A = this chain, B = another copy of it.
Amino acid sequence: MTVSRTICLGFLALITAGTLLLLLPIATADGQWNSPLIALFTATSAVCVTGLIIVDTGSYFSPSGQAIILLLIQVGGLGYMTATTFLLLLLGRKLGLRDRLALQQSMDQSELAGGRRLVLSIILMTLILELTGVFLLMPLFSPDFDAAHSLWLAVFHSISAFNNAGFSLFADSLIGYAQSPWMTLVISALIILGGIGYQVIMEAMLWLRDRIQRRRSLRIFSLHFKIVTSTTIILLGLGTIALLSTEFNNPATLGLANLPDKLIMAWFQSVTTRTAGFNSIDIGQMENTSLFIIIALMFVGASPGSTGGGIKTTTLRILLACTRTVLQGKEEVLCFQRQIPSSRVLKAIGVVMGSGLTVIGTTTLISITDPEFNFIAILFESVSAFATVGLSAGITADLTIWAQLAIIATMYVGRVGVLLFMATILGDSSPSVIHYPEEDLLVG
């Protein structure tokens, strides 16, 4: 069985198990057997760490049901992070000497060789960061809830945030804490760390260790590290500025808040849009311009080897580098004074084409089954499902069953990765030995 098939079937098995568990009467607050569609939708959304919902998690599900959802999030998130980091390392083996140096510096040699230590290291890092999150979130909830309830809220939101799942136990997501700098700080940190990928965190930690130990550092950051961190920072900044400008005077969102609160809320929405999916602003009340900006940010999404979705920061950066190359009339695609291999360029095209076609397909389907909804809302839900974001313009719960099934399928394809999914469906083809002559043609 190929790696891609394992990933596709693994997620399918997880979703099936989750659906069966959520069907049980112990999962629901009213103690009745759950509806199959609600169980399937919620299980898929949890395993794919999307966070789109058709019932309110906090009131519809019992504490056991919530625990099942949290477990699905954790297994789904960890599974994906491990799988994609493996792929990154497999790829690392093919690198040249100089580049291998950067990678090897960032993880021990033994980790490159054996997978077991890597998996343990990922699990350990996840647990440490999530536990820190729980510890830091406790003071946020304890003034309003008793100790046990506060702890549960802290555990649930910490795990949901680090896995970029976006599930919340509050019916209005985090709108109630919109103006809390502490919530914004802690949840943002968890989201960003979860969405930036294991390798980037490890490289940063090892660099930090050298600094603290005052070692004379010979550490070279990998190209992956540089692209991911710089793109993440730029997108976070641009998103904050864009949403701050478009919502500045909208009384239903940022309009009535003072300037520091406006800044906090715009920043949080920018962080959560790629691809955590919490919200501290009412998405349904936003301007169309903001929805359009959010759609673009969601489509880009997080970084490879993380818990997040979308086409990924590296894909965007490679395509922008290609555009710059063309404009300069050159042939080499460069990023941070490194050449991008042409196979990566091709893969970036494949990812964007596959993603674009998936989103177009889902949007077309839902606009056929549910023509009464606003078009931008339909496009919004489709992109949100594909990029496993989970933000909602407020229509998902009211869609017809066919549209909800389409959303379920889109979340699944978006999570396992559109190329991996298509490659699995199509099966492996043996590489061709025939070489064809080159012929030029006019483009654009």
Contacts and interface: CB of A to CB of B under 8 A. Distances in A.
Contacts of A431: 328-330
Given A375-B292, A376-B376, A443-B312, A428 B338 contact: no
A314 B441 contact: yes
Interface in A305-356: 305, 311-312, 314-315, 318-320, 322-323, 325-334, 337-351, 353-354
A171 B426 CA distance: 50
Interface in A176-231: 222-224, 227
Contact of A346 (B87, B326, B429, B439): B326
Which of A293, A344, A350 is most buried by chain B, counting CB atoms within 10 A of its CB? A350
A114 interface: no
Contacts of A328: 429, 431
B325 A346 contact: yes
Contacts of A344: 440-441, 443
B312 A364 contact: no
Contact of A367 (B288, B329, B341): B288
A371 interface: yes
A292 B417 CA distance: 25
A444 B223 contact: no
Chain A residues touching B, majority SS:
helix
Interface of A: 84, 87-88, 91-92, 94-96, 98-99, 222-224, 227, 246, 287-289, 291-293, 296, 304-305, 311-312, 314-315, 318-320, 322-323, 325-334, 337-351, 353-354, 360, 363-364, 367-368, 371, 374-376, 378, 417-419, 422-423, 426, 428-429, 431-432, 435-444
Given A288-B371, A323-B349, A329-B429, 19 more contacts: A99-B437, A227-B441, A288-B378, A291-B375, A292-B375, A304-B444, A311-B444, A318-B443, A319-B349, A319-B353, A322-B349, A326-B419, A330-B431, A341-B438, A342-B342, A348-B444, A350-B444, A351-B444, A375-B375
